[in-house]
Amino acid sequence: MISVDGFGDFASTAWGVGIGANIEVEGRIFFPHSLGIFYQALTQYLGFPNYGDEYKVMGLAPYGKPTYLSEMRNIVRLLDNGQFELETDYFRHHKEKIDYEWDGVPRVGLLYSPKLEELLGAARQKGDEITIRHCNIAHSVQLMYETAFFNLLNSLHAKHGIASLTIAGGCGMNSVANGKVILQTPFKRLYVQPAAGDAGGAIGAAVYLWHKIKNKSFADVVAGPSVLKGDQLFGRTVMDHAYFGPAASNLEISDLLKSSAAELDRDGCTVIQIENERGLCKEVAKALAAGEVVGWFQGRMEWGPRALGNRSILSDPRRIDMKELLNKKIKRREDFRPFAPSIQSEHAAEWFETDDDVPFMMQVYQIRKEKQKLIPAVAHVDGSGRLQMVYRETNQLYWELIEAFRELTGIPILLNTSFNENEPIVCRPVEALNCFRRTKMDRLVIGSYLIKRV
């Protein structure tokens, strides 16, 4: 088990062994050395200053080459024991007070020192043109992170010989690295906590107390056995889905639509109800196959940062122009960032170079070469995709929607992006309706209600 983050209680990295209900923490890496700080500082250097912008560097990296890897090795030193150290002269966090403010979201001051610009050249400012130099630095940053991370994992496996690995911590959101763990380390099974950052601690604390006070396990919290192959093998019950958030009642949805009827009419929208779920899925699948963009709001919200088919914006992955359409209609984000595929779990190995369980969109894998041209909207520039496997047992309605789309098109995949527009993912029906109205989505499905622009 390993957690890699920026910092928490002066530790940036911790690892140990979990057996049964017991976790034995074996080692830690302490302040000021941190792969999270390394990645965040270089993200700032590349002109992405907002908290959480690291995913932009991950998206930019495949456009470049590792031409700055030797410079990165000056910044991060690999140690013989598998651990790492930062060359602190390139950073400010260890000797200066870094501004940290809260204005709805965290705001973190500059983490890198002038010496980093001496090494790499002038930093990019937010809004500046992205050049091939920036792409090459991004690629080198990602590769350096992977090199240090896998070096530690290989050392831990050599010591313990355990085949299963669990990843958490904010750096657990590095889906590109996660997707390479099985290929580049001896581990055979991987589980990545879907709320890998600080938010995941809430579930961990709750389950820990549940176990200590009630002497019960996570199996008593969730219904039924795990759908994940490795957990069936070991008879474990784990968090195999993320649908633990709030849900909306039919009354809440119908009351909202009644009170919004005049506004929807002025917007040129019609509202119908399709209570038969199979019929609803067929209608929505037809719209998707015709190139429409659909907001999809169903059931309990996902716990964690990924939209996994309950608070999602969906579209046809076959459309080569769909990324551009989504950015113009709704997302208004950088063109280099990829969109993700949701695929029925039973078809995943036919389309992706993996047979791992990937329920949380936390790993990036290569799309099989012969399939890439069939789903260009979810194939990144390097032929990869940050996939979500959809299991009938854990999200039947979303699985049924993809099945209806497959029956029409032969493609068991939908493009899935989070239901938001430069804001947190929508939680309540009113937020979904507001997002739909101010963007150019073609349809919105809330529960059994379908709202369509005429």
Task: Encode pLDDT of 338-349 as tens digits.
Answer: 999 999 999 999
| Strands 2-8 and 164-168, sheet pairing | parallel
Residue 118: enclosing H or E segment and its boundaries? helix 114-120
Cα separation, 208 vs 211, in Å, equals 5
Q: Is 345 inside any structural domain?
A: yes
- Note the pLDDT tens digit of each residue in 127-156: 999 999 999 999 999 999 999 999 999 999
Tell whether 254 and 185 lie within a shared domain: no
Tell whether 359 and 439 lie within a shared domain: yes
Domain of 53: which CATH number?
A: 3.30.420.40
Which of 175, 192, 209 is the endpoint of a domain?
192
Q: Which of 9, 55, 88 is nearest to 171 (CA)?
A: 55
Tell whether 265 and 185 lie within a shared domain: no
Q: Is 231 inside any structural domain?
A: no
Q: Does the pLDDT of residue 439 top 90, yes or no?
A: yes
- 400: CB partners within 8 A, 6+ apart: 277, 278, 281
Tell whether 290 and 383 lie within a shared domain: yes
Give the mean model confidence (pLDDT) for residues 25-49: 98
The two tokens of residue 440 are 């150019």
Tell whether 185 and 254 lie within a shared domain: no
The two tokens of residue 308 are 């996994």
DSSP tag of 404:
H
Tell whether 181 and 255 lie within a shared domain: no
Cα separation, 279 vs 106, in Å, equals 44
Cα separation, 359 vs 191, in Å, equals 10
Which of 192, 222, 241 is the endpoint of a domain?
192
Cα separation, 251 vs 249, in Å, equals 5
Q: Is 223 inside any structural domain?
A: no
Tell whether 177 and 299 lie within a shared domain: no
Residue listed under structure tokens 């937010």: 126
Q: Is 201 inside any structural domain?
A: no
Tell whether 112 and 254 lie within a shared domain: no
Domain of 374: which CATH number?
A: 3.90.870.20
Question: CA dihedral in degrees (319, 323, 328, 331; nearest 10)?
Answer: 130
* Confidence band, pLDDT 50/70/90 cuts, at residue 226: low
Task: Answer whether 0.85 is exceeded by the pTM.
Answer: yes
Q: Does the pLDDT of residue 229 top 90, yes or no?
A: no
User: What was the pLDDT predicted at 118?
Assistant: 98
**What mean pLDDT is reported for the chain?**
94
Q: Is 237 inside any structural domain?
A: no
Q: Is 265 inside any structural domain?
A: yes
Tell whether 65 and 160 lie within a shared domain: yes
Q: Is the peptide bond before 246 cis (omega within 30 degrees of 0)?
A: no
User: What was the pLDDT predicted at 154?
Assistant: 98
Q: Is the peptide bond before 32 cis (omega within 30 degrees of 0)?
A: yes
Tell whether 165 and 272 lie within a shared domain: no
Q: Is 132 inside any structural domain?
A: yes
Q: Is 327 inside any structural domain?
A: yes
Q: What is the count of structural domains for the chain?
A: 2
Taking the alpha carbons of 266, 285, 446, 105 in that order, is the dihedral positive or negative?
negative
- Note the pLDDT tens digit of each residue in 237-260: 578 999 999 999 999 999 999 999
- Note the pLDDT tens digit of each residue in 319-340: 999 999 998 888 888 999 999 9
Tell whether 317 and 426 lie within a shared domain: yes
Tell whether 156 and 263 lie within a shared domain: no
Which of 172, 192, 212 is the endpoint of a domain?
192
Cα separation, 97 vs 90, in Å, equals 15
User: What was the pLDDT predicted at 12?
Assistant: 96
The C-alpha angle with vertex 33 and arms to 55 and 174, in degrees rounded to 5, equals 20
Range of the domain at 260: 250-453
Per DSSP, which regions of 52-207 are E strands? 76-78, 84-86, 100-102, 106-108, 164-168, 189-192
